[in-house]
Amino acid sequence: MNRKVSIAPMMDCTDRHDRYFLRLISKNTMFYTEMIVANAIIRGDRNFLLNFNNLEKPLALQIGGSNPKELSECAKIAENFGYDEINLNLGCPSKKVQKNKLELV
């Protein structure tokens, strides 16, 4: 795949519907999910949070967090869903990430 163009995660924008639409426009773009806080993946509804349409691929999951064990667990969980890449957001200024709250971002 030609990775000259990527669509970075944008809060309240790059949801599964947006990615599906954008994929119709470009087959050679790498898409990223909106950031999902690690605790949400560990304790939340994984199918709701991580499922995607295979037509969205190639697709990277962005996980936000600061705890290495939680991030590792989330990466293993996400691998089973078939993401092409896992992107770790370790320095997000979001208070939700900094305080490790269970929030769906």
Report domain extents, the chain.
21-98
Q: Residue 92 catalytic?
A: yes
Catalytic pick from 87, 92, 94, 96? 92
Query: What pLDDT, on the 0 to 100 scale, is given for residue 93?
Result: 67
Query: What pLDDT, on the 0 to 100 scale, is given for residue 26?
Result: 82
Claim: this prediction has a pTM higher than 0.85? no
Task: Tell me how far apart the alpha carbons of residues 79 and 92 are, in angstroms, rounded to a whole number.
Answer: 22
Residue 24 CB partners (closer than 8 Å, separation 6+): none
Per-residue pLDDT of the chain (105 residues; tens, 9 = 90+): 556 767 776 666 677 778 888 888 888 788 889 889 999 999 999 999 999 989 889 899 999 888 999 999 999 999 999 999 999 988 766 565 555 544 444
Query: What pLDDT, on the 0 to 100 scale, is given for residue 66?
Result: 85
Query: What pLDDT, on the 0 to 100 scale, is given for residue 11?
Result: 66
How far the first Cα of the chain sits from its last, in Å, is 29
Structure tokens at 8: 């970075």
Reduce the DSSP state of residue 1 to 3 states and report it. coil
Query: What pLDDT, on the 0 to 100 scale, is given for residue 99?
Result: 59
